[in-house]
């Protein structure tokens, strides 16, 4: 069976040529990252890099390698006016005539690297604004402004999941020739859920409404929900969101009392906004307890945000626990 390759898909979807170049550039570099990941210990790329990133987290060697690879690939594209990475303190100006600003998390879920489990690359493409050279202020646009967003999941197969604002498509890497082929063209998240995803070990640190909501979920058929729910946690947002796009459910990384000013663990511009774009395009919802994440006006590029995403009815119910 002949499948549509990524470049043809972008042509068919009438995606602007400059935006195509950004998406294809990210796709190409992801193939190289997947090769480094596949070599693992043989290439000496596992383990810590011995430094902390701007988030105060230990960097893995592959965090640094993937970050450098994506930076170099994007900086070579005339369409890219500037980039911002979860691993970099400052935004990086690129081409003054470029139309797009790109934010990315080069290797999400990097604690999974050393156990040979799933990780991913997340990206978000925003329109440029302001004068050259690019400043952090230019990036501070609500997620609603995104022109494209997606991720690459490095798992048993390598998959690119993409939206350019017209639904969500999934592509699988053909390892024989390094091309992404369309394998799912209309991703839809069912409105109801029977599965949820949360790091339960943090339970005592959540706000009371989240504790009540999860307690009702796990009380099963005999509880107020009168239904059994299953739970999954991969510890890589890419993999947990991928499962929700494939078979539904709710994912949350809630507000946590240990970091009241930082809201939670996930980053608005590298994780929540791009995943939110995909989730909304697939018919799901993404909220904080206060409102829709894609409407948030960012205050700084490394901002964190509590996240509740996935099945529309389940997200609404979880938010309702917080707003009662």
Q: Residue numbers of the site for ligand AFP (CB under 6 A)?
A: 57, 108-111, 199, 235-237, 240, 253, 265-266
Least Å distance, CB 104 to ligand AFP, is: 12
DSSP H/E element including 242: helix 237-247
- Report whether 108 belongs to an annotated binding site: yes
Cβ-based nearer residue to ligand AFP, 26 or 182 = 26
CA gap 233, 251 in Å, rounded: 9
**Sign of the C-alpha dihedral, residues 303, 305, 310, 316?**
negative
- Report whether 313 belongs to an annotated binding site: no
- Report whether 111 belongs to an annotated binding site: yes
195: left (phi over 0), alpha (psi -120 to 50) or beta: beta
Least Å distance, CB 233 to ligand AFP, is: 7
Least Å distance, CB 200 to ligand AFP, is: 10
Least Å distance, CB 262 to ligand AFP, is: 12
Cβ-based nearer residue to ligand AFP, 44 or 56 = 56
Cβ-based nearer residue to ligand AFP, 117 or 199 = 199
Cβ-based nearer residue to ligand AFP, 158 or 305 = 305
Cβ-based nearer residue to ligand AFP, 38 or 54 = 54
CA gap 275, 35 in Å, rounded: 24
- Report whether 107 belongs to an annotated binding site: yes
Least Å distance, CB 318 to ligand AFP, is: 17
Judge residue 72's burial from the number of C-beta atoms within 10 Å of its C-beta, 0-12 exposed, 13-18 middle, 19 or more buried: exposed
Q: What is the widest separation between alpha-carbon atoms in the chain?
A: 61
Judge residue 202's burial from the number of C-beta atoms within 10 Å of its C-beta, 0-12 exposed, 13-18 middle, 19 or more buried: middle
DSSP H/E element including 58: strand 58-60
CA gap 221, 218 in Å, rounded: 9
Least Å distance, CB 108 to ligand AFP, is: 5
- Report whether 284 belongs to an annotated binding site: no
- Report whether 105 belongs to an annotated binding site: yes
Q: In what order do the strands lie in the sheet with 195-197?
A: 230-231, 195-197, 250-253, 307-310, 285-287
Cβ-based nearer residue to ligand AFP, 93 or 254 = 254
Least Å distance, CB 66 to ligand AFP, is: 11
Cβ-based nearer residue to ligand AFP, 22 or 236 = 236
DSSP 288: -
- Report whether 271 belongs to an annotated binding site: yes
CA gap 188, 315 in Å, rounded: 15
Half-sphere exposure of 15 (CA within 13 A, CB side): 25
- Report whether 6 belongs to an annotated binding site: no
Q: Which residue is nearest to ligand AFP (CB)?
A: 237
Instruction: Enumerate the known binding-site residues for Mg(2+).
Output: 86, 105, 107-108, 271
Instruction: Enumerate the known binding-site residues.
Output: 86, 105, 107-111, 199, 265, 271
Instruction: Enumerate the known binding-site residues for substrate.
Output: 108-111, 199, 265
């Amino acid at each position: 069976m002949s499948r549509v390759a990524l470049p043809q898909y972008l042509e068919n979807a009438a995606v602007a040529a400059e935006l195509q170049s950004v998406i294809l550039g990210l796709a190409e570099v992801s193939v190289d990252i997947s090769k480094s990941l596949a070599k693992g210990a043989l290439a000496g790329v596992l383990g810590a890099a011995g430094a902390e990133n701007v988030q105060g987290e230990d960097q893995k060697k592959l965090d640094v390698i993937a970050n450098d690879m994506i930076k170099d690939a994007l900086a070579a594209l005339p369409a890219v006016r500037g980039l911002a990475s979860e691993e970099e303190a400052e935004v990086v100006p690129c081409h003054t005539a470029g139309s797009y600003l790109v934010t990315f998390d080069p290797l999400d879920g990097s604690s999974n690297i050393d156990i040979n489990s799933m990780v991913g690359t997340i990206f978000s493409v925003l329109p440029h604004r302001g004068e050259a050279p690019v400043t952090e202020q230019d990036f501070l646009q609500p997620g609603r402004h995104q022109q494209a967003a997606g991720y690459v999941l490095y798992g048993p197969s390598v998959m690119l999941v993409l939206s350019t604002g017209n639904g969500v498509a999934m592509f699988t890497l053909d390892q024989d020739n390094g091309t992404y082929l369309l394998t799912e063209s209309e991703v839809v998240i069912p409105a109801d859920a029977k599965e949820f995803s949360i790091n339960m070990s943090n339970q005592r640190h959540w706000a009371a409404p989240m504790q009540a909501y999860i307690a009702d979920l796990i009380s099963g058929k005999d509880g107020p929900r009168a239904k059994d729910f299953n739970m999954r946690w991969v510890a890589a947002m890419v993999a947990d969101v991928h499962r929700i796009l494939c078979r539904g459910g709710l994912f949350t990384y809630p507000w946590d009392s240990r970091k009241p000013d930082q809201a939670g663990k996930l980053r608005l511009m590298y994780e929540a906004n791009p995943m939110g774009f995909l989730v909304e395009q697939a018919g799901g919802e993404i909220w904080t307890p206060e409102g829709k994440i894609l409407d948030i006006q960012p205050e700084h590029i490394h901002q964190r945000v509590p996240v509740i995403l996935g099945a529309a009815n389940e997200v609404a119910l979880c938010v309702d626990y917080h707003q009662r």
